Amino acid sequence: MAVDPRQVVAGFLTISMFAMLGNMIKRDHFDSIEVSIQETSVVQFDALKAEEKSVTQVSTESSPELKPCWAKPVPKIEQSKGFITFSLTGGPEHHISQVTDAVVIARYLGAILVIPDIRGNEVGQRRNFEDMYDADNFTASLTGVIEVVRELPAEVTTENPAVIRVPNRVSEDFIKNNIQPVFQTKSYLRLATFFPSINLKASGKPNTDLDSTACLAMFGSLVMKQEILEVVDRMVERLKTISRNTGSQFIAVDIRVDVLEKKSCREKSNGRKPCYTAVEIRDFLRKVGFNADNTIYLTETWWHESLNPLKEVFPKTYTKDDLIPAEKKGHFLQSGGAELQRALDFQICSKSDVFVPAISGLFYGNVAGKRITLGRTQILVPSQVPSSSPTASNFFSPYVSKRNHVAYSCFC
């Protein structure tokens, strides 16, 4: 007899959820492991085991939206000096980290930050910041924290900047020892953030000026432009309408065929996996109680035959190509539009009833952060499903169950 997903997902966030899960979970999921970006940001998946009887009912009711724990940094009195430039690369999950590091560095140095452009994967691909984000909100959110300008003064554009590679989640010591000396001799810097590891762990409540600056930059400065948000709302409404018709949940699954083809999803010697295929996701969803009534959104842009096994069991499975308004397809799905496509994915995965990351990495981590701040903590991380009565509660993301995401350092 099939399990009704409304029962499976019915007590997801009970008042005692976090206390119960703290005792239930014995081993970390992939989001607590740091790993080289050269390995496609593999922050491995891990299985969860329960010490006590599993929660048999999980609710899709959201927890209360959290409030910022940080106080806005005290306005700088001294005159800003020098300029910092950088570009946004990758998708929104990278942009969040790149902006945070640049703002923190500008704050520490007392420098003027130039609004970045957006670079594509191919040489020559470039977008304006305003093509994806609200530039006025970006500037206003940082007023009094750092000075922000839209472009360099003409007299500075003739100079060559000092280029500095910056590790993600840059520390005060790194700025002091590696960036400040350069800035003191060359007050025009260009930053390039790299990801030696993916670490979004909580680090305690913000207790320094730079901690508060990082929280503000990460969670309060980047807002998608209105056109993108409107398209997202229309796509999400279609998905929720389909779900309402059957009284089921709308699940967003981050699964991209091109990424799966580049990395091995085989189980490692330590029992962990970096990713899951469509077949494995199908089996995972079915065994934790979801069924053909559930509506599924995939982050794959166009349908691929490797996704067929998933759709055979979950016929209400859709991609962007299925859902995006016809008049918007040319703009969002055109060649070279990867950043816009990931913008749609990021927003939809943040708004879904349930989020399931089939691929480890920064996208999962920063979507989880966004969902946590919004109270949408229904995040299920796949693993090799135990044979004895698996339920969704066995697979809560430890970002939530252990409250170990940086979002919990910034929000209360």
pLDDT in tens, 58-114: 455 567 788 998 888 888 777 788 999 999 999 999 999 999 999 999 999 999 999
Mean pLDDT of the chain: 84
Decide: pTM greater than 0.95.
Answer: no
pLDDT digits (tens, 9 = 90+) for 173-219: 999 999 999 999 999 999 999 998 888 988 877 778 999 999 999 99
133-170, pLDDT tens digit by residue? 999 999 999 999 999 999 999 999 999 999 999 999 99
CA–CA distance from 184 to each of 81, 205, 379 (Å)?
Answer: 10, 31, 45
Classify burial at 190, counting beta carbons within 10 Å of its beta carbon; exposed 0-12, middle 13-18, buried 19 or more: middle
Residue with tokens 């006590």: 52
Angstrom CA distances, 398 to 155, 165, 278, 288, stand at 50, 31, 23, 17
51-72 per-position pLDDT tens digit: 333 333 345 556 778 899 888 8
Contact 13, 374 (CB under 8 A): no
Pairing assessment for the beta strands 250-254 and 354-357 based on DSSP bridges: parallel
For residue range 127-142, list pLDDT tens digits in order: 999 999 999 999 999 9
At 400, give phi and psi (nearest 5°).
-95, -50
Alpha carbon of 70 to those of 75, 99, 135, 205: distances in Å?
14, 18, 23, 8
Top-confidence residue, 96 or 23: 96
pLDDT band at 299 (very low <50, low <70, confident <90, very high): very high
Q: What are phi and psi of 252, to 5 degrees?
A: -105, 130
Question: Among 37-41, 120-124, 230-234, whose mean pLDDT is lowest?
Answer: 37-41
First vs last C-alpha separation in the chain: 41
- The per-residue pLDDT for 222 is 97
Amino acid letter, residue 131 = D
- Of 165, 22, 157, nearest to 83 by C-alpha is 157
Q: What is the pLDDT of residue 48?
A: 35
Tens digits of per-residue pLDDT, 330-383?
A: 999 987 789 999 999 999 999 999 999 999 999 999 999 999 999 999 999 987
